[in-house]
Amino acid sequence: MSTAQAQVALVTGAAQGVGFHIAQRLHQAGYKIVVSDINLDAAQKAVEQLDASGDSAMAVALNVASKTDYETALAAVLERWGELHVLVNNAAVTRATPVMEISLEEFNEVVSINLGGIFAGCQVIGGYLASKGYGRIINMASLAGQNGGTSTGAHYAASKGGILTLTKVFAKELASGGVTVNAIAPGPIDSPMVKALVPEERLPTLLAAIPAGRLGDADFIGDMVVQLARPEAYFTTGTTWDVNGGLFMR
């Protein structure tokens, strides 16, 4: 397989936060980047930050809860660059509603986006990659899916736990097509999402509970994605890489 310089990576929810850091690190590693987001204007602004010329980055509108949106996004990428090699399923919504107050509608909405988006992405993009005989899929899970969550809601935790299983399912399904499927499960990262969930006065308590004593680094998450996206990562599939400061050890 060719080097990263010739490869194309699509990152969902990449207009801001950890998703943008992932896109930025992949771009710095030589990948052409597809910044996908439900907010196309925000995605276009992110592209301008990555590459003002637009030669090595493009924006697409993508609601991950829609399989049709994935198909449309894939068609747009193939029309622009003729190929796609890497999918990073990052997009998610976070709710912190107390478990006994979560309506079924809210539960279904969160699971549809967070878990359904992974499923649709692995089906559509994974199927394309397998048909070409090569691909890398990295799913963004969460510590919440392993320990039941602390600052997040039950629906968020449940959806992120499901990602661990879907990662294994698609790793088995797509392996014969040269496609690896792995997950990364971050704990609290220094990101807008964590700051929105954890009020400033509660931050010292959160940090005190983390053995490493500090929040995680979003750029490091991006670096882990780059490692899993490399052609040389062919022997790593179906795994979940933990990045949680020691909050969950196994």
Spatial neighbors of 84 by CB under 8 A, at least 6 apart, are 8, 9, 10, 34, 74, 77, 78, 125, 128, 129, 135
CB contact at 8 A, 73 and 123: no
Beta bridge partners of 36: 60
Q: Find the largest Cα–Cα distance for the chain.
A: 51
Whether 156 is catalytic is yes
Residues 31, 128, 156, 234: which is the catalytic one? Answer: 156
CA atoms of 14 and 8, how far apart (whole Å): 15
Residue 18: name the closest of 91, 69, 70 by CA: 91
Please identify every residue annotated as catalytic. Answer: 156
